[in-house]
Structure 1
């Protein structure tokens, strides 16, 4: 049968591990005075009496007995004081052991799920920044695929950066920047100069980059507008694209960031896309399990410092 006592005197087994009661035990043992213990704890003497009653009930012993020389410990209290002080030190260590991450001395690796485009646009800048701040930290780039949510949940991956609409509850996300679309062409293209319109877009031959969620947005937009491109080359990614564009009259439609990066690498011209393709946001994502992890927070902070466009994070 459960006991029915007043709130002031109810005692449970959890009281044994209540830091404030153990602190009182230690103070009474040290000071031999209820008055001094109350002053040390900033509490009233009636409250101290209630707490002492809980200790006595818990240990089934008077523990401290009033004498002419103050509150003297019983043999049971003498036997317990060492254990009590060890427990208090453990409480102190627990309360003071908030983990920290020091990038300057850390030796560890971070796995970041990202697209092939991010290898070109984000990874070089991120790597340079991390090497300057954390010389012994390694970065591993992983794919954004169907296994990514589980990898983030288990800690096999730390964060994911990209357009990742399939994540469900339990993940945080932070918008870094917004992407619109551009077209790339040979800087000496025989038919395309400063003016580039929908007529040119329909007439010219195209390269199709088939990978990524952005490719789906592009394909659906063209389908809605009944625009049929003449595709002469399909690629699974961006490897070799600048060289192909620089040596042919083909054009390609890409998100702006990767488009402008490849244009700089290959001496290509960047053209405003004449087709209305929805823009999209690039976000960093992480699992709620690691939201307060100091190392994960540091990595997310680095990405925000480098790429954030003043957007707060939200939880799905």
Structure 2
């Protein structure tokens, strides 16, 4: 590898322990947090950062009002180092396997509130029971971009926008669901068949996001549109609005069990049978054969299978 603006570096001249510290600094963007993660003092990590800057002839991390930010050279180095670290970790895990009961590892997730209500409680219960040393870092799709850690190390649980089977090589379909129409029990349309004409004539509460966009795209292809009266950013808090108005909302069927059991709402099938709700688990291809990563992905798939089997009666 070459340092920015410098002569080629000999691997033997580099203290490989510094690269581990560099990885922690890059991910934590904080000397104190990196030191805590590594079990070192902040002074030792600061000293290591100075050595890294000298070694690579680059500031690597600079202070900003939002905290420490990586330089372009640091991003380049981190991307390369991750590939090398992953190969080393995979080689070790292939030999020793992955034992969730004794593992010390953080798994990274990025998901939307389409699925977190179903997944997170069950996942946390399972991890605390069978993998007490495993921790979980969750990031929302509300954020503009995933962190590098999620992009390279984690799993994304996201809505498939292909309207069909996933074509991504590093992915797995974990849920094929359908949309339901949610309304209050005393709604004038609750006792009548939900035709497409009736659906379009009613006032709608729309939750922003990929799922609602797909619904509007399919309607637009037919030259149709629903009458959106209120638009909100997340699912949280929408049920009280539906309970107290004559608005209706499109909602995933796998939510119905938890929503209907504690609310004054009813649900009927969406009058667009071709509109499915497919959700995929997606990960970076380099993690395909990582034993721990495979275990985590299988656990997520198992949770969705078990949870959704219980709700099929609603379909």
Q: Is the 8 A contact 1:207 1:233 kept in 2?
A: yes
Asked if 1:137 is matched to 2:116, the reply is no
Deviation string for 1:250-290 (max 9, x for gaps)? 10012322355433342421111113452142111111221
Residues 129 and 280 of structure 1: is their aligned pair in 2 closer, same or farther, counting only changes over 3 Å? same
1:163 to 150, 156, 159: 159
Q: 1:122 is paired with a residue of what secondary structure?
A: helix
Match of 2:96, SS state, is coil
Two-structure CA RMSD over aligned residues (Å): 2.9
Q: Which moved more, 1:288-297 or 1:97-106?
A: 97-106
How many residue pairs get aligned? The number is: 212
In structure 1, distance between residues paired with 2:189 and 2:298: 46
The 1:307/1:97 distance shift into structure 2, 3 A limit, reads: closer
Larger CA Rg, structure 1 vs 2 = 1
Name the residue aligned to 1:49: none
| 3-state DSSP of counterpart to 1:222 | helix
Match 1:240 to one of 237, 241, 244: 237
Structure 1 unaligned segments of length 5 or more: list them: 1-93, 310-316
Distance in 2 (CA, whole Å) between partners of 1:170 and 1:223 is 27
Cα separation, partners in 2 of 1:95 and 1:193, compared to 1, 3 Å? closer
How much does 1:113 deviate? Answer: 0.9
Match of 1:290 among 278, 287, 290: 287
Q: What is the CA deviation profile of residues 61-92 of structure 1, one whole-angstrom value per residue up to 9, with x for unaligned ones?
A: xxxxxxxxxxxxxxxxxxxxxxxxxxxxxxxx
CA separation of 1:230 and 1:128: change in aligned 2, threshold 3 A: same
CA separation of 1:199 and 1:259: change in aligned 2, threshold 3 A:
same
Matches within 5 A, 1:1-316: 98-144=95-141, 147-148=145-146, 151-155=149-153, 158-164=154-160, 172-193=170-191, 195-211=193-209, 213-308=210-305
User: TM-score, normalising length from structure 2?
Assistant: 0.59
Q: Which residue of 1 aligns with 2:57?
A: none
Relative to structure 1, the CA distance from residue 261 to residue 217 in structure 2 (aligned partners, 3 Å threshold; closer, same or farther) is farther
